[in-house]
Structures are given as structure tokens and as C-alpha cells.
Amino acid sequence: MRYFIGVPVEIDLKKYKDLFKAKNIAIKDIAINQHNHITMHFYGKLTELNQKKLIEDLSAFNFPIFKIKLNKVSYFKTKGLINVVYLGVDDEKIDELYQAIKKCLKFKDDRLFIPHITLCRNKSIMNNEFIIKQIEKIKIDEEVEVRSVVLYNSKLSKEGTIHEKVFVKYFLDK
């Protein structure tokens, strides 16, 4: 099993799948599941001792409930091809949360933090130029409440990745 820290977000991804279909964007497998999230840090494999320590540290973590703004549909590219399509998050508060979690859990991560909710991972895209132009035209304006941080485990299966909540730390009311 692989572990990561994430922030669960309740959002109806079906409407984005319908939006893509309406714009003739041929992207399959939009990640419609009950565990949509923003990844804060990916750990990979953990020993039982390290898992217990993470849970102990998360238990002591506090942060107020807040809302984030989803502002765009965008993508990550690998070797010139889109491999991930996501909803972008534009909000200082999510960056503050990331820094607070990073400090609490004492992980080092020099990569640029790009908060996002994965819509889908692509294995093959037929018309990359068309899809890029269509994706860049999509404007969204949606708010989502952030109420907790979660230690997830991630299992790879034939149907895709399955996320399970190992531990949930709920935030305090504002």
C-alpha cells in the first residue's frame, strides 16, 4: 500500500464529465468517486511505526474550517502530452494549510505545490491540440468547504486507484 496526506473535497465531478462531453473533449474515466481530494504530501510505503507516528502527529494538528475557490480546468503534461486533467484551486488558505501540515508532519518537499483536484489521468489522447484549446476555454467559479485532513492509503487495481481513509482529523469551526 501507498500512503498520502490529502484534504477531502465534496464536489460533483459528473457535471465536469458532462461539460467535457458537451465541448467534444474526448477524455475518458473522469475520477468520479467518493474520495476526491487535494494531495498535500505523498509518502509511498510506510512502516507500521511510521503510520502510527503520522496518526499521532495528525491527532494534534488543528486548523479552522475554511472555503477554497476552484477557478479553472487545467492539465499537467509529460513528454508533450496531457497526462492529468484537473480542477485548479486558487486560494491562499490552502497554501497556509499546506505549510501548516508540512510543519506539523515535518516533511521536506522542494517541489512547487500546485493544489488541484484530479479529474482524470489520460493514457491516450487522440487530438491533443484540440483538447488543450477546449480545456483552456473552460471557466469555473465554485467554492468548496475544507473540513478535515486525511491519511489515505492507495491501492492500485484493474479498475483504477482505490483510496481508503486510514485516519481523519476534523478541523475546528472558525
Which tens digits make up the pLDDT trace of 12-43? 877 877 787 777 776 655 555 557 899 999 99
Distances (CA, A) of 133 to 23, 74, 114, 127, 171: 11, 11, 21, 10, 39
Q: Specify the pLDDT at position 30.
A: 58
Tell me phi and psi for residue 71, to 5 degrees.
-125, -10
In this prediction the pTM is: 0.88
| Edge-to-edge strand ranges of the sheet holding 2-8 | 37-44, 2-8, 148-157, 160-170
pLDDT the model gives residue 126: 54
Structural domains of the chain ordered from first start? 2-168 (3.90.1140.10)
pLDDT-flagged residues of the chain (< 70):
26-34, 123-127, 174
The residues facing 4 across adjacent strands are 42, 152
Q: What is the pLDDT of residue 28?
A: 58
- Residue 125: the pLDDT is 56
List pLDDT tens digits, range 102-119. 999 998 888 899 999 988
Asked if 137 contacts 72 with a C-beta cutoff of 8 angstroms, the reply is: no
Count Cβ neighbours within 10 Å for each residue of 76-94 and write b for 16 or more, e otherwise. Answer: eeeeeebeebbbbbebeeb
Write down the pLDDT at residue 115: 96
Check residue 162 and give its pLDDT. 84
Cβ neighbours, 10 Å, residue 56: 10
List the beta bridge partners of residue 78: 81
The C-alpha atoms of residue 163 and residue 85 are separated, in whole angstroms, by: 19
